[in-house]
Structure 1
Amino acid sequence: MSVPETARAVIIGGGVIGCSVAYHLAQLGWRDVVLLERKQLTSGTTWHAAGLIAQLRASANMTRLAKYSADLYARLESETGLATGMRQTGSITVALTEARVEELRRQAGMARAFGVEISELAPDEIAARYPHLNTDGVRMGVWLPGDGQGDPSNIALALAAGARAGGARIVEQTRVTGIDRVGRHVRAVRYDGPDGPGRITAEHVVNCAGMWAREVGAMAGATVPLHAAEHFYIVTEPVAGLGRLPVLRVPDECAYYKEDAGKLMLGAFEPRAKPWGMEGIPESFCFDELPEDLDHFAPILERAVERIPMLAQAGIRTFFNGPESFTPDNAYLLGRCNEADNLWVAAGFNSVGIQSAGGAGMALAQWMQDGVQPFDLGDVDVARAQPFQRNRRYLRDRVSETLGLLYADHTPFRQKATARGVRRSPLHDHLLARGAVMGELAGWERANWFAAPGGVAAYDIGWGRRPWFPNWAAEHAALREGIGLYDMSSFGKIRVEGADAAAFLDLVCANRIDVPVGRVVYTQMLNSRGGIEADVTVTRLSDTAFLVVTPAARLHADMAWLRRHLGDARAIIVDVTAGEAVICVMGPGVRGLMAAVSPDDWSDAAQPFGTAREVEIGIGLARAHRVSFVGALGYELYVSADMAAHVFETLAAAGADHGLALCGLHAMDSCRMERGFRHFGHDITPEDSPLEAGLGFAVPKDKTGFIGCDAVARQRDEGIRRRMVALRLDDPAPMLFHNEPVLKDGRVVGHVTSGSYGHHVGAALGLAYLPSELSNPAALAEGGFAVEVAGQVVPATVQRRAFFDPDGIAMRGDLPRAP
């Protein structure tokens, strides 16, 4: 088939996701859609996928997409005439350890919160559903009747048939050789096909190139961080008496089992994987297999023979090793690339491509149609990608771990062990020397908590209270009752400067930004539907210069949002994150410490809350921002990177006489939970409005002309359907993390968006959205609320206001001490 000279959308890659995007764009009425496939449809990874289709994912919207995929595949045959092999077999996941029991019970609660049918099974009930399973060591399991399996290649071909029927053109044996980009706009795709090289002008380009997606992204200067790794499975000869079976997962043994046509497949997600393709993927690669490595697979197989004894007598028909692409965080990459406004990606599916492709294709097509996310896709939004993650050594090292993490215990606070240390604060070595236990976010090494002298400076991860819980509690107490210091240097810093900077920021921000020099403004950036795209502070540094501060993982996404809306405004947008460290000193005793290291006046009169000014510390200079993410009196000290060590040493030396404690970011998070501060990505997303989130105070009623203002005005006129509330467990023992179901009179009415332990208030805390009829003061006063925690229903107190200092007195001065 010939390639046209122009297209509304060019899709690169003919695996299941490329076919899904083409299908869904055609369903939306896009007629000029062209899919280019380098070899043949499904010839990369799709053809050898296991085809497992599970409904439950890590968040409500990811579950929504997985459920959509299953429903789509079930109806494709009647629509296209091509069988997809979709079969609702159900699935069982079993637990062999107490940690896995806790995880499965929490997952069961999450499933109920998301509307997925699930039930717990005792070992004898598991054996009844899977009679070939040796239940020795099995403690319990969960049953999801809606899960199933399908034929990956046929699913992709059915989607392709549906796309063609809708007018899309699919061209095989056509390799993309380049992408032409001017500024923030991709102009055309260059290719080499059977008739020679050519060029197709495109309004949109979608990178669905699978394990080639990193290289395709690089053609346009875009970051698409993924790497191929070897994935192993065996398929037996037909086994007499096998029968129809559900999918079985035994994550504690790194194994999954699938029955198909009387044969049994055993697949593995081994703890240490084998990256592949460091030297590039051969040009001839098409329906290829990689060399067998029985030694690598042997430990999984040995345990499997004990778990499913009939495997010992079953002959092996196929030992398969094929490459699949994995990302640094085990979440796939979907959405608009940061570097170009019309360049999209759907790739890096981490062995869940079949169950994800239908929903991901639908969501991306709708996003391309409307220009905004159809609902929150933050879990997989490619905007989270960091430029350094293009590094091939980083990707090779990281995916050797992430493949195995698919079946590892998904305990809270788990940290990646590979590819660490790439981004470090100027205070990094100082903090390590004082017992810092580091976590990693967006490549940044960050002190999460501190070990006591002589203590173990390492995580002991698991559910419940860990051995370092008292350390965390002590740091939290320092921020509430004394003085705590934590390093916030990893937070993103964006300088916006120019003659039109104030007017431009007033356009993209919901709060009023044209304020006096030295003011710090808390604000959101909204999309056209009034959803929250960014949650930042903006500090006016001069008449023409502003500093936008955002969470570390959001830096590049927020810069892209700003650049996308800059237009012809006379302003420049620059990442200045590495230029300044941020040392936060917080707590009721902070003014005494600052007076000991600085000649400046630290009174309310000299620097009111919400302002910034230059100060002297030791023999250096800093800029003190009087704001707080922990709800305490304190200052964020912005210090040029060259002076950061000196300022830290000065504070630490003086702090010895003032009770200064070093704190980690776990304490920062638990303090912000007590104060009810929202966290972007969990509590507030592009799907949530400021009014729903209880942030209406940051959107002046008399401000107009900003992006999203009409949507906010409509909500004010019509009312909101839900509202964020704070909750506290009445039992001080359980822990909350996120996604636990919230119940009212025994009925699921919401789920925890983020949770932590409120050491000062003495119980676990959470935030959650509840329907308006349940979140008004009268309904909240009735009570009857509870949270399901690992299968236990725990009564909870629910209110709109924060559980600590709801009026913000502490941030503006000392709270009266309790007698």
Structure 2
Amino acid sequence: MPSLPDRARIVIIGGGVVGCSLAYHLAKRGAGADVLLLERHRLTAGTTWHAAGLVGQLRATQNLTRLAQYTTGLYRGLEAETGQPTGFRESGSLAVATTAARFEELRRGASMARRFGLEVRVLGPSEAAAMWPLMEARDIVGAVHLPRDGYVNPIDVTQALARGARMGGARIEEGVSVTAILTGNGRVAGVMTDRGPVRAEAVANCAGMWAHGLAAAAGVTVPLHAAEHFYVVTETIPELPPDLPVLRDPDLCTYVKPEPGRLLVGWFETRAKPWGMGGVPPDFSFGHLPDDMEHVAPLLEAASRRLPVLERTGIRLFFNGPESFTPDDRYLLGEAPELPGLYVAAGFNSIGIQSAGGAGRVLADWILDGHPPMDLWDVDIRRAMPFQRNARYLRDRTVEALGLLYAMHWPFRQPETARGVRRSPIHDRLAAAGACFGEVAGWERANWFAPPGMRPEYEYSYGRQNWFAASAEEHRAVREAAGLFDQTSFAQFVVEGADAEAALNRICANDVAVPPGRVVYTQWLNERGGIEADLTVTRESETRFRIVTAAASQTRDFAWLRRHLPPEARVAAWDASSAYATLSLMGPRSRQILSALTSEDLSNEGFPFATAREIDLAYARVWATRITYVGELGWELHMPAEYAPGVFEALMEAGAPHGMRLAGYHALNSLRIEKAYRHWGHDITDEDDPIQAGLGFAVAWDKPGGFIGQRALLARRGCSPTRRLAAFILEDPAPLLYHNEPIWRDGVMVGHITSGMFGHTVGRSVGLGYVGCEHGADAAFVTAGRYEIEIAGERFAARVTLKPPYDPAGARIRS
């Protein structure tokens, strides 16, 4: 047995397809000699060996699609590079729909695919039947064909990646178990194995189902849970045509992979069977789980209706093996916020084969360069919340998570399992008022309020859902009278100390060296000028600041803050989110309502926009912040959580004579999009800079001491950006925008909608999106074009504006 080195620059835990891909890409970057991959048994022994091996390219976002495209290209050429066969076959894929709603989903996906550069065809029933002659097609209403999709042999492609990694100098050791992640001086220090410690500068946790427990022992949250996954392989089918595409029938929860003379038929059923609640056994290698014909029989029967040949064909293999799933069905990638130097690539939700190439490439870049090479927020591990380490939560959510892969991906769809994790102090009062709750970061948030006689439950569709009219009334109340929002889900951080101003001014692009009582809207930028966070900073005193940011980015933003505070600075930062509740009163009558509850001067002169102070309100002391995300006069009211019920009751009583209504997050979204207010993660990301996003007004270009990203921004200042964010208003009031709809300018595709909603004040759907032009997307270029937005394959005329569609001068917020 060769001796194990006691030191390596980079240690990779896990020899599945993802770990081997990471080793391969580190080697391609020239770091192979610094890489040690440790596999407890043999390569592919966890879940890789029994994967179906499907390689699809269309994912939910542009960057994830780019990574899937890269994976396909990598697998296509891997055998020629390494000499190791991969079984790669570019068979194409065919997804069929048996309902109008599913066909719209597929057609919207096809529009998105074209925007992302994929070859795609929308087919009618007869064309789909011709492509799959053994398929019963009488109930099919349409289909989508992606000709560049395919499949590989999972074991072979992993071995090819491993061979490529070794060719580049990486060392791969099988039969070595990692028992712990070592830490020291606040960062990763290496790993402990059954053959002794290995010191390392960076450790990558690619341990699949075991990643959760290994990370948890080091204080790191990696929320995933295993579930049983079923498929069968048939006996030989003599009449099976060659060159069939992979078939997906999501309405029957079924996928079908052609194999030489046989079919592999698998399922993503609506109610899954979680596995390994007490932890995944450490010696579970090349393992499978007991058959469960009772569970699978209805699925097999449904698949037989689609493929009648199954009724007269024997089953050669009945397989049940575990795979890991995350609470939101997106994998976990990146540097752990709790432990610098520990990287994670795990929780691939049954798409590990088709994700491994791209995930390995970008994680290699992240490790070597110190930052991700593109916007990866959809899969960034920093979206995970500490509570998601809870085993019961993970088990209960996994019951639903597996099936969501093939469930209808409705707009505004909410998870149904593991709910009620985080609730505001007035949750029960909102429920009694008819709130229909959605979930973000575990928070139960009122998305809309059902009027009397209506059940507060979603009825999903791609059209105007059942809450449309109710949310419209909430929207109009905010524009015409007042609306009260519960925004307790805000993340709030406190930064305090003698050096707090200097430390924050280095992190913030805007200038926070303002008098106490001032509110500053700002972005946090990376060294490349990309937007890492979008938030407000309130100076409460000479030495104390309050940061308010979105619930979804709580973990990410606090990690960014902590890591960029100078270690020598006299400053402390803590996450105070759980201590505070926030009620936001917005609308032209908000001043009258608040004036009935406080003696404070709320006039423009006495309480100008972008100011904050502690005031008496009803029987409480609250921080009142005059700011808005809806484009109207209004205040955010921050208070210790225990005061929220009393303040809420007082506001409800005082607001009733003024027409105030409770309002939810759907109304908040429609209001903010009419004002072209950006949303981090959709309209602005770490790939977008303030110039492209139209946020240059929030940059203190020449402030003393500078700020992170200043040099990169100054180099672009005065130059026309190659892409620019604009607002689009559809001419036709009927279609609805959500996101990712292609933008056409003079018949040329130039971008896609980043976020959209029906604007009840303008009476049309409004979307935000970037217009791109390699020669410069200046104002003249953007506004001169004739625009159309493509929705499910159909183009609709749209007007473009670089100003907010509603109240472009911003007079109402300062009224």
Fold match by TM threshold 0.5: yes
Q: Distance in 1 between matches of 2:622 and 2:315?
A: 68
Using the alignment, how far apart are the partners of 2:571 and 2:723 within structure 1? Answer: 38
Residue of structure 2 in register with 1:596 after alignment:
596
Q: Which residue of 1 aligns with 2:753?
A: 752
Distance in 1 (CA, whole Å) between partners of 2:57 and 2:605 is 57
Q: What is the distance in 2 between the residues matched to 1:134 and 1:34?
A: 51
Q: CA deviation at 1:40?
A: 0.9
CA-CA distance at 1:782 after TM superposition: 3.0
The answer to whether the Cα contact below 8 Å between 1:2 and 1:171 also exists between their aligned partners in 2 is no
The answer for the alignment partner of 2:83 in structure 1 is 81
Distance in 2 (alpha carbons) for counterparts of 1:467 and 1:777: 39
Q: Which residue is 1:646 aligned to? A: 646
Q: Find the aligned partners of 1:684 and 1:656 in 2 and give their Cα distance.
A: 37
Number of the residue aligned with 1:297: 296
Aligned mates of 2:97, 2:484 — CA distance in 1:
41
Indicate if the aligned counterparts of 1:341 and 1:564 stay in contact, CA closer than 8 A.
Answer: no
Mapped to 2, the partners of 1:314 and 1:375 lie a distance apart of 47
From the superposition, tell whether residues 760 and 775 of structure 1 become closer, same or farther in structure 2 (CA, over 3 Å): farther
Residue pair 2:253, 2:267 contacting (<8 A) in 1 also: yes
Q: Which residue of 1 aligns with 2:60?
A: 58
CA deviations 1:107-163 (Å, max 9, x no partner) are 011001111110101111011110000002100000000100001111111101111
For residue 640 of structure 1, report the CA deviation from its aligned partner: 1.0
Matches within 5 A, 1:95-494: 95-192=97-194, 197-244=195-242, 245-494=244-493
Report how far residue 715 of structure 1 moved: 1.1
Distance 1:45 1:558, change over 3 A: same
Is 1:578 the counterpart of 2:578? The answer is yes
1:816 alignment counterpart: none
1:6-56 CA-to-partner distances (Å, cap 9, x unmatched) read 111000011000000011011111121001111111000000000000011
Residues 256-281 of structure 1 deviation map (CA, whole Å, 9 limit, x = unaligned): 00101111011000000000000122
Q: Is the 8 A contact 2:722 2:777 kept in 1?
A: no
Cα distance in 2 for residues equivalent to 1:792 and 1:457: 33
SS in 2 for 1:613: strand
The one-character-per-residue Cα deviations of 1:524-563 (angstroms, maximum 9, x if unpaired) are: 1111111111111111111111111110010111111111
Deviation by residue 1:232-261 (Cα, 9 ceiling, x = unmatched): 000001110202210000000000001011
Q: Deviations over 1:86-118 (max 9, x none)?
A: 100000000111110110111011001111110
In the alignment of these two chains, the number of paired residues is: 809
> Deviation of residue 183 (structure 1)?
4.6
Q: CA RMSD in A?
A: 1.0
CA distance in 2, matches of 1:168, 1:568: 38
Question: How far is 1:454 from its partner?
Answer: 2.1
After TM superposition, list the pairs within 5 Å mapping 1:623-642 onto structure 2: 623-642=623-642
The match for 2:797 among 786, 795, 798 is 795
Q: Percent identity?
A: 55
- Report the secondary structure of 1:190's partner residue: strand
Distance across 2 between alignment mates of 1:792 and 1:301? 36
Separation in 1 of the partners of 2:748 and 2:14? Answer: 45
Counterpart amino acid of residue 556 in structure 2: A
Which letter maps to 1:230?
E
1:317 and 1:409 map into 2 onto residues whose CA distance is 31
Contact persistence 2:477–2:483 (CA under 8 A): yes
Aligned counterpart, 2:739: 738
Number of the residue aligned with 1:722 = 723
1:660: Cα distance to partner? 0.9
Counterpart of 1:71 in structure 2: which amino acid? G
Query: By how many angstroms is 1:568 displaced?
Result: 2.3
Superposition deviation, residue 774 in structure 1: 7.4
Moved more, 567-576 or 293-302: 567-576
> Which deviations, in whole Å up to 9, do the C-alpha atoms of 1:480-520 show, x marking residues without a partner?
11100001110100111111111111111111112111111
Q: What SS class does the counterpart of residue 257 from structure 1 fall into? A: strand
SS at match of 1:109: helix
Structure 1, residues 760-812: CA drift from partner, whole Å, max 9, x if none?
00110111111255743333443310000112110000111110012211111
Residues 561-710 of structure 1: matches in 2 within 5 Å?
561-566=560-565, 567-703=567-703, 705-710=706-711
In structure 1, distance between residues paired with 2:445 and 2:459: 17
The one-letter code of the counterpart of 1:226 is L
The 5 Å alignment of 1:8-23 reads 8-23=9-24
Q: Give the drift of 1:596.
A: 1.3
TM-score of the aligned structures, taking structure 1 as reference length: 0.98
CA deviations over 1:670-725 (Å, ceiling 9, x no partner): 10000001100011111111111000111122125211111101111544211111
Q: Kindly provide the CA deviation profile for residues 378-419 of structure 1, in whole angstroms up to 9, marking residues without a partner as x.
A: 110000000000000000000110100000000101100000
Q: Is the 8 A contact 1:775 1:800 kept in 2?
A: no
- Residue of structure 1 aligned with 2:808, choices 806, 812, 815: 806
Displacement of 1:182 in angstroms is 2.7
Provide the TM-score with structure 2 as the length reference. Answer: 0.98
SS in 2 for 1:396: helix
Cα deviations by residue, 1:166-207 (Å, 9 ceiling, x for unpaired)? 111111111111122135311121000xxxx31111010100
Which stretch of structure 1 is more off in the superposition, 776-785 or 150-159?
A: 776-785
Question: Does the 8 Å contact 1:740/1:787 carry over to 2?
Answer: yes
Amino acid at match of 1:559: F
Corresponding residue number in structure 2 for 1:546 = 545
Q: Deviations over 1:556-593 (max 9, x none)?
A: 11111111122222211111111111100000111111
Deviation of 1:341 (Å):
1.6
Give the SS at the match of 1:229: strand
Comparing 129-138 and 718-727, the one that deviates more: 718-727
Check the 8 A contact 1:89/1:145 in 2, yes or no. Answer: yes
- Separation in 2, partners of 1:689, 1:777: 17
